Amino acid sequence: GYGAPPQQHNQWGGPPQPPPLPVFDTPSREEVAELDKDVPEFQTDSAGCSLVVFRPKELKFKRSRIVQGGAQNVVVVSSVEETLTRFRREVDDAPPPMAMGGMGMGGMGPVQLDTMVKPKGRRSTGSFDLLVKLLKASNTVEADSAVMKALEAALSGEAEAGSDDHDDEKETQDPAEGGEGGEDGGDDEGSPSPVVCQPASQCAHKLEALSAALSEGKLSLDIIEKVIEARAGAVAPLREGTEALVKFVARHSIPTLLFSEGVRDLALQILLAQIPMAGAMAKSLPPTLKLIANPLTLSPPAGPGPGPGPGGGPVVTGLELSATMPPSHTLPVTTRTKNVGTALTDPTVAELVARRQNVLLVGSNPSEASMAQGMTSVGGGPEATVLKVGYLDLTQPDLCGRLAAFESNGFDAVVVGEGSLNYVNDFLTEVATGVAPGAPAQDGQQHLRDSQMAAQAQAANLHLLHAGLS
């Protein structure tokens, strides 16, 4: 043409191919490793409650292992105060159920911070504090007596140790909580419940001081039960989903260990007063539920004949704090002894959880991760799988530090705010049926039948063991 160089053609007669682009965005080894990291996620459960999952991949693996084991291989471990009961007596309106895409862990969407269930109002009262209030309101012990001064000193020591957990506001006592004359009963309302992590020696000293005061107070057990029955829902309301949890574990024969560093009789009444099904069963929890706490001592001993209390009922004479006294588990129950190992010293508990390998732990304090200690001695060994679900109180100071403490103590997920037990109940449903809530049910029918047959076989073996025929 016009002086242009002749065009070069490739071997097929077409125009030449451009040179390949240099590869510059191949992921490095560090970038590949970073993509494999198990990083935290914000999620919501099927009821719209917000939660933080620290290690989603590890949680998915744990869920899969526990689901494969079925209901016949799992034990539920939890605490009464601030886990089965709410942090506060009132909450903002709970968020409506959210339509979640998909099912199971993969179907959970991003957290909706504006739907978080926020606690408000006065703190719920634990079983220990409730008994102290009743003792003060009864006026059966002089306020300036030696035992009451010792109790006040023990409580003030607790307040100093847990000052960060106190409410800023001063609150007055609700007279209906503990009868008449509870003038000074409101001062300890903002103090932390026994669930707050404290040195075991301090917890034991506090229990001993209360036991000594009770020995002089001679409170009637009948009056205590009537007051709690009337006021439990107001002073220690149960977390939403607690009754559903109790019904589910009873229906599927799932052993459930409930701990309290407070007083067993009062913790039991708090539950019975708000769970009609349990209250109707001769005023007792289902046989698969065991409450491990510090029992009251009563006079006279159980047996025929009227007692010295009003109407012939028994009278409270203190707390059982000696391991030589029945029940046979280690006493007192404190932060250090609140675990499966403590419960296993009771032969009925050891029988109940025998040969089970998996644990679902539910707590409201990072220190409650230790409640699973002792499970390796129940046949689970090092293969035992422990899935831990926590509840984060938004009214506590240093929320970031508290959330980090949940993570460092091995919790897998934490429900943020005054959330329900829906996440726990959905997971147990999946364990018992093999199908996540919302998924097609037909695939899990065989799993459910197998799980029920295994539970029935285990119950039959326990019966034979009791009868001495095995």
Q: What is the full DSSP assignment across 49-65?
A: -EEEES-HHHHHHHHHH
Cα–Cα nearest to 78, from 198, 266, 245: 245
pTM of the full structure: 0.74
Going by C-beta distance under 8 Å and a sequence separation of 6 or more, which residues neighbour residue 76? 245, 249, 254, 255, 256, 257, 359, 360, 362, 428
Instruction: Give me the amino acid identity at 429.
Output: T
Output the pLDDT for position 451. Answer: 65
Measured CA to CA, the distance from residue 209 to residue 22 in angstroms comes to 78
Is the Cβ–Cβ distance between 421 and 244 less than 8 Å? Answer: yes
Output the pLDDT for position 171. Answer: 40
Give burial (CB, 10 Å; 0-12/13-18/19+) of 87.
buried
Strands 385-392 and 413-416: parallel
CA quadruple 123, 129, 134, 135: dihedral sign: negative
Flag residues of the chain having pLDDT under 70. Answer: 1-14, 91-119, 158-201, 278-282, 301-312, 322-331, 376-383, 438-470
Output the pLDDT for position 40. Answer: 92
Cis peptide upstream of residue 332 (ω within 30 degrees of 0): yes
